[in-house]
Amino acid sequence: MSTFPSPRPLAYVAEKLQCGGADLSELAEEYGTPLYVYAADDVTTRAALLRSEFVATAHTLCYAVKANSALAILKLLGEHGCGFDIVSGGELERVKRASPGALSKVVFSGVGKQAWEMDAALEAGILLFNVESQAELEVLSARAVALGKVARIAMRVNPDVFAETHPYISTGLSSHKFGIAIANARAIYQRAAALPGIDPAGVSVHIGSQIRSVEPFAESVKRVRRLVEELSGDGFDIRYLDAGGGFGIEYGTASSDPAQSVRDYANAIREGLANLKVHLLLEPGRFLVAQAGVLLTRVLYTKQNGDKNFVITDAAMNDLIRPALYQAHHEILPVEKHDRAEQTSDFVGPVCESADFFARDRSAPEVRAGELVAILDAGAYGISLSSHYNTRVRPAEVLVESGQVRLIRRRESMNDLLAPELF
Ligand SMILES: *Cc1c(COP(=O)(O)O)cnc(C)c1O
């Protein structure tokens, strides 16, 4: 019996949609729209679920901050024992502020780390640098020496494994910019061993995002394991294996049991690592936060062009760019259920781009101007990919925790937006 709740923390109560037990129409009244709403309990339940699959394995969950970098969410996950996977000095600053106790559980990924970012991470005493090139290794060595520190490193290897996902979020092929070719790894570790201030302590891999089958994870762990064994044979003390993130979710309506898919994923990784004496690092992003969040938006207008219906919402691609960027699918639900006929419509925002849509040719009960709809699974790569395009302020965010609603980011003002500009 799974203790995991349904894939989403949503329910209709008296025909009104709730998220994490909070009535979405009341939240819209109080905080305005567009509004991101997250159910904290869903995030922590997922972290616990993932952790429970690895209880017998020495491991740390390093939440990938870029999926949703809200300070309140980082604090929440830090309190639940997570470390963090960061990709910039800015994300390091977020962890420092929200969860300073977790700095010793931070891994730093990214192909273009700058000297100041390395310095900040060395001073903060992070766990591991995931180094993506020999050139970066040389700079890191120089920074560590200058600061009198030792940088624990894992080379991020590219296992040349194809993961079936959108091309923009696939990273594990040799044609991608990420990591170093696994075939060159041993030579680069030899170079690393000769550099001052560098402790080659691990190997890391990350093959992409929104990966829905376990085979690519199994295959890449198998290849990385072989490398770890070779490196150990070469005399290296490899203590960490970072298996990356990328574990996907079901964005559609197909019935899916997150507990079962976590079990399959964990099995694949555990089998690949059996009897290997390393501390496992995992970098889940999307899986922990995507389904905990909705983007709540109000319908401004409806209209017909030719034989197409359009539902125009006050949220736009600057608030949630996934459909425009990845042709991503998001389910959309009315906040108040009505007994109305189905209609096929495009759900679009006010931004001046034809790519500004949330759904195309979507069949749903008719919605009318003034009504609210919820765009589902918007907790990951939603607000974190948002922008000011069309000079639109970014949405507010609220966190619902055990029924209590808390504003975690106020809506920006036009002054916030214009403040950095000079003329
Ligand atoms: C983006 C990223 C992740 C998280 O990916 P998800 O698909 O959100 O789990 C983990 N590790 C690295 C290096 C990343 O770039």
Q: Measured in angstroms, how far is the CA atom of residue 207 from the centroid of ligand 1?
A: 9
Q: Measured in angstroms, how far is the CA atom of residue 272 from the centroid of ligand 1?
A: 20
Instruction: Name the region of 49 (left: φ>0; alpha: ψ -120 to 50; beta: rest).
Output: alpha
Can you give the pLDDT at residue 2?
35
Instruction: Report, as an integer, the average pLDDT of 368-387.
Output: 98
Ligand 1 proximity of 156 Cβ (cutoff 6 Å): no
Q: Which atom from ligand 1 is nearest to the alpha carbon of 287?
A: 9
Judged against a pLDDT cut of 90, whether residue 168 lies above it is answered with no
Ligand 1 proximity of 362 Cβ (cutoff 6 Å): no
Residue range 19-42, pLDDT digits in tens: 999 999 999 999 999 999 999 999
Pocket test for ligand 1, best of 206, 211, 224 (most atoms within 8 A of CB): 206
Q: Measured in angstroms, how far is the CA atom of residue 402 from the centroid of ligand 1?
A: 28
Can you give the pLDDT at residue 92?
98
Ligand 1 proximity of 85 Cβ (cutoff 6 Å): yes
Question: Is the CATH code 2.40.37.10 the one for domain 2-39+291-418?
Answer: yes
Ligand 1 proximity of 322 Cβ (cutoff 6 Å): no
| Average pLDDT across the chain, whole number | 95
Q: Is 82 a catalytic residue?
A: no
Residue nearest to atom 10 of ligand 1 (CA): 245
Q: Measured in angstroms, how far is the CA atom of residue 194 from the centroid of ligand 1?
A: 30
Q: Which atom from ligand 1 is nearest to the alpha carbon of 290?
A: 8
Nearest alpha carbon to residue 189 among 244, 250, 237, 248: 237
Pocket test for ligand 1, best of 85, 88, 288 (most atoms within 8 A of CB): 85
Residue range 180-189, pLDDT digits in tens: 999 999 999 9
Full-model pTM: 0.96
Ligand 1 proximity of 272 Cβ (cutoff 6 Å): no
Enumerate the domain spans of the chain. Answer: 2-39+291-418, 109-284
**Which residues face 128 on adjacent strands?**
107
Confidence band, pLDDT 50/70/90 cuts, at residue 4 = very low
Q: Which atom from ligand 1 is nearest to the alpha carbon of 211?
A: 7
Instruction: Report, as an integer, the average pLDDT of 104-127.
Output: 98
- Quick one: fold of 109-284? TIM Barrel (3.20.20)
Confidence band, pLDDT 50/70/90 cuts, at residue 109 = very high
Can you give the pLDDT at residue 169?
67
Judged against a pLDDT cut of 50, whether residue 133 lies above it is answered with yes
Judged against a pLDDT cut of 80, whether residue 413 lies above it is answered with yes
Q: Measured in angstroms, how far is the CA atom of residue 204 from the centroid of ligand 1?
A: 12
Confidence band, pLDDT 50/70/90 cuts, at residue 171 = confident
Can you give the pLDDT at residue 3?
42
Judged against a pLDDT cut of 70, whether residue 160 lies above it is answered with yes
Q: Measured in angstroms, how far is the CA atom of residue 318 from the centroid of ligand 1?
A: 21
Confidence band, pLDDT 50/70/90 cuts, at residue 254 = confident
Ligand 1 proximity of 286 Cβ (cutoff 6 Å): yes
Ligand 1 proximity of 143 Cβ (cutoff 6 Å): no
Q: Which atom from ligand 1 is nearest to the alpha carbon of 380?
A: 8
Q: Measured in angstroms, how far is the CA atom of residue 247 from the centroid of ligand 1?
A: 9
